[in-house]
């Protein structure tokens, strides 16, 4: 049997590589936790270690590192946090477009910071790794099909489980009922449309899965203490 003999320089290189992987793993752990501040601290340490040929001192190197970083973030949340690919693909495409339009290293650094924050938000708000498979599937289905006619009965039928079982396991793991979660997802979308469009309230209701705009307004007011119209007027006067 032949044994590999390492020279001193080889051993230094191996130690450097091991250190890089440890620092990279530390960053990914902080990202997976959803803590933006700690993730940025770990990222600063990560970028302070400069492998040969990838030092980030030129625009090309910085761009390359940003692409690699985006891939690491996406795959980490996919496999560790069980974030649905729908959300990961959306953010990944956004980041690629913004990086393509950068002109300086400072531009790239700004994009990286922005998307580390976005990935941290995904880790906090869309992680499914702590839930059972049926709850994972139910949450993902609601978030991707919130415009459909959704109910406990329809979801239980879709996944071939009893209403009582789905209701109990969902409430235990999510902390709210299936119906409450459906409303939460829809009203989050409503807030987005109220903030970013001038669409009439009844159109927003339809886009969020409510066929009755009066019912939508009641649900919105119950959760936010003001009506959709009052919310929009408040935005205009800020």
Q: How many CB atoms lie within 10 A of CB 141?
A: 17
Rounded-to-integer distance, Cα 160 and Cα 31, Å: 35
Q: Which tens digits make up the pLDDT trace of 42-70?
A: 999 988 875 544 444 689 989 998 999 99
Task: Say if CB 32 and CB 81 are below 8 A apart.
Answer: yes
Contacts 24+ apart (CB under 8 A), 65-68: 66/99, 66/108, 66/111, 66/112, 67/96, 67/99
Rounded-to-integer distance, Cα 13 and Cα 53, Å: 14
Helix (H, G, I), strand (E, B) or coil at 1: coil
Query: pTM for the whole thing?
Result: 0.65
Q: Which tens digits make up the pLDDT trace of 31-44?
A: 999 999 999 999 99
Q: Which tens digits make up the pLDDT trace of 90-133?
A: 899 899 999 999 999 999 999 999 999 999 999 988 888 778 99
pLDDT at 2: 47
Task: Say if CB 144 and CB 122 are below 8 A apart.
Answer: no
Rounded-to-integer distance, Cα 5 and Cα 189, Å: 61
What is the pLDDT confidence band of residue 15, given thresholds at 50, 70 and 90? Answer: low
Higher-pLDDT residue of 9, 144? 144
pLDDT at 21: 85
Helix (H, G, I), strand (E, B) or coil at 56: coil
Rounded-to-integer distance, Cα 221 and Cα 58, Å: 52
Rounded-to-integer distance, Cα 204 and Cα 147, Å: 11
């Amino acid at each position: 049997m032949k044994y590999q003999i390492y020279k001193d320089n080889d051993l230094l290189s191996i130690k450097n590589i091991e250190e890089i992987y440890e620092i990279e793993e530390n960053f990914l752990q902080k990202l997976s936790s959803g803590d933006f501040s700690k993730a940025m601290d770990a990222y600063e340490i990560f970028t302070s270690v400069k492998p040969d040929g990838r030092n980030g001192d030129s625009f090309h190197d910085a761009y390359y590192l940003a692409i690699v970083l985006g891939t690491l973030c996406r795959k980490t949340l996919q496999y560790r946090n069980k974030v649905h690919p729908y959300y990961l693909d959306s953010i990944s495409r956004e980041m690629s477009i913004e990086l393509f339009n950068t002109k300086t290293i400072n531009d790239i650094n700004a994009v990286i910071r922005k998307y580390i924050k976005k990935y941290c938000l995904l880790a906090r708000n869309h992680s499914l790794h702590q839930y059972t498979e049926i709850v994972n599937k139910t949450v993902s289905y609601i978030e991707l099909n919130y415009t459909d006619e959704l109910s406990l009965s329809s979801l239980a039928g879709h996944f071939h489980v009893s209403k009582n079982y789905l209701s109990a396991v969902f409430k235990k793991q999510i902390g709210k009922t299936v119906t409450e979660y459906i409303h939460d997802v829809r009203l989050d979308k409503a807030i987005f449309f109220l903030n970013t469009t001038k669409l009439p309230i009844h159109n927003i209701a339809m886009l969020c899965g409510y066929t009755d705009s009066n019912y939508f307004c009641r649900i919105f007011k119950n959760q936010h203490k003001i009506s959709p119209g009052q919310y929009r007027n408040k935005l205009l006067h800020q």
